[in-house]
Amino acid sequence: MKKIGIFDSGVETPEEIIMAAGFVPFRLFGDPTIQPEKANEHIPPTHCIWTRNLLEQAIAGLDEDIVGIISSHGCDRTNREFDIWLECLNYKFMFFLNSPRKRDDVALKFFIDDLKELINQLQDTFNVEITDEKLKESIKKMNKIRETLREISEYRTKYILKGSEFHALVKKVQQLPKDEALHMLETRLKELKESHDSFANGMKPILLTGSDIDDTELIVLLENLGFHVISDDLGVGTKYFWNSVDENENPIEAIAKYHLSKPIHSTKFPSYERYNVLENLAKKYEVAGVINIAQKFCEPVLYDHPYLKKKFKELGIPYLFVEMTYNRESYSQLNTRFSAFAEMI
Ligand code: SF4
């Protein structure tokens, strides 16, 4: 089945529309085993390493079933770099979705209009019809996926499901055909319901936040140091299934409202609202600490750090900020920081 690649610094791209057009939504992830050499010819090496990594892969050639790319408005990196993608890639469908920075009524109307434009362009380019019925069917499927993920996520709280396994599951869901993804999730949920094996043994529950961390190995590294990611506000995590799309409303409006009511990403306004979500999660899951990880040169998350540091200090919850290089060889350098934090909490 043909795929539409998603280049998105958050999870703002409406997968339902891609599904209703007959394609598999396929979120692009970084590959921490490669270096951005070709990408550095287009983007200064002092810019976000994650997007340079994606561009490197795009220049080398993406999954052969991908027939088009949607990039959603996120940070300045994804926004400006889409111009470079237009120059370097040769797909007949390349769309920049202007997911708004704000969340008021004007922003909602603006977003609905751009979603309609996305639908028009998909229909014209691929000669398909995206009907309300197809959109409603996709919304139902995606809601079922979100609901199942919410249920599975709670097994992290029971120390039955490791944060790394959960992270890998969410990643797969963002790339697999959705029927396959749903089947995978339902099978895993059934197993979890029957499982009583707990790995609690002294693991320290933490809340993970920051840039959209997409390398599961980093979560494994944290686990090996005694942390358990009991909750998060990541795009490869709770932000992907936090709420559901209203199935009784006009489908395009419902999709737009869904995206504007999710926990806010650092790239949106007012980004400090992120703290309220994090505070609630930290209290709900009684975390021992909060770890905020920024990809190297991720400005939105760097801007949030001083505010989060101050607020978690006031709250009395230990907080660690680290900036990482998107490269597995460099992970060992983070060990010292993480280990010191593990001793402190
Ligand atoms: S890691 Fe940060 S700078 Fe890079 S794409 Fe994501 S939000 Fe933007």
Go through the domains of the chain in sequence order and give each one's CATH number: 3-128 (3.40.50.11890)
What pTM did the predictor assign?
0.97
- Atom 8 in ligand 1: residue holding the nearest Cα: 75
To the nearest 10°, the Cα dihedral for 272, 261, 322, 71?
A: -120
Quote the distance between the C-alpha of residue 270 and its chain's center: 19
From 78, 264, 274, the mutation candidate for ligand 1 (largest count of ligand atoms within 8 A of CB) is: 78
Is 90 exceeded by the pLDDT of residue 135?
yes
- Identity of residue 340: A
Structure confidence at residue 258 (pLDDT):
98
Query: Percent of the chain scored above 70 by pLDDT?
Result: 100
Q: What is the pLDDT of residue 168?
A: 98
For residue 169, how far is its CA from the centre of ligand 1 (angstroms)?
22
Buried b (16+ CB within 10 A) or exposed e, 290-328: bbbbbbbbbebbbebbeebeebbeeeebbbbbebbebbe
pLDDT at 76: 87
CA–CA separation, 21 vs 4, rounded Å? Answer: 10
Give the chain's mean pLDDT.
96
Q: Are 211 and 50 in contact (CB under 8 A)?
A: yes
Residue 197: pLDDT band (50, 70, 90) is confident
User: Does the pLDDT at position 107 exceed 90?
Assistant: yes
pLDDT at 155 over 90: yes
Whether the predicted pLDDT of 138 surpasses 90? yes
| Identity of residue 230 | I
Task: Check whether the bond before 300 is cis (ω within 30° of 0).
Answer: no
Could you tell me if the CB of 11 is within 6 A of ligand 1? no
Task: Please name the helix (run of DSSP H) or strand (run of DSSP E) that holds residue 44, with its range, or none.
Answer: none
In this prediction, what percent of the chain has a pLDDT beyond 90?
A: 92
Q: Does the beta carbon of 143 sit less than 6 angstroms from any atom of ligand 1?
A: no
Read off the pLDDT of each residue in 117-136 and give the average, rounded to a whole number.
98
Report CA(48)–ligand 1 centroid distance (Å): 6
Virtual CA dihedral for 156, 159, 163, 165, nearest 10 degrees?
Answer: -100
- Torsion, Cα 262 155 247 209, to 10 degrees, reads 10
- Overall average pLDDT of the 99-109 stretch: 96
Residue 330 pLDDT level (bands cut at 50, 70, 90): confident
The answer to whether residues 3 and 174 touch, using CB atoms and an 8 Å cutoff, is no
Distance (Å, rounded) from C-alpha 213 to C-alpha 265?
13
pLDDT digits 0-9 by tens, 204-223: 999 999 999 999 999 999 99
The residue whose two tokens read 């790319």 is: 69
Ligand 1 atom showing the smallest separation from residue 265 Cα: 7
Residue 124 Cα to ligand 1 midpoint, Å, equals 31
Predicted confidence (pLDDT) per residue in 258-306, tens digit:
999 999 999 999 988 999 999 999 999 999 999 999 999 999 999 999 9
Residue pair 278/207 in contact (Cβ under 8 Å)? The answer is yes
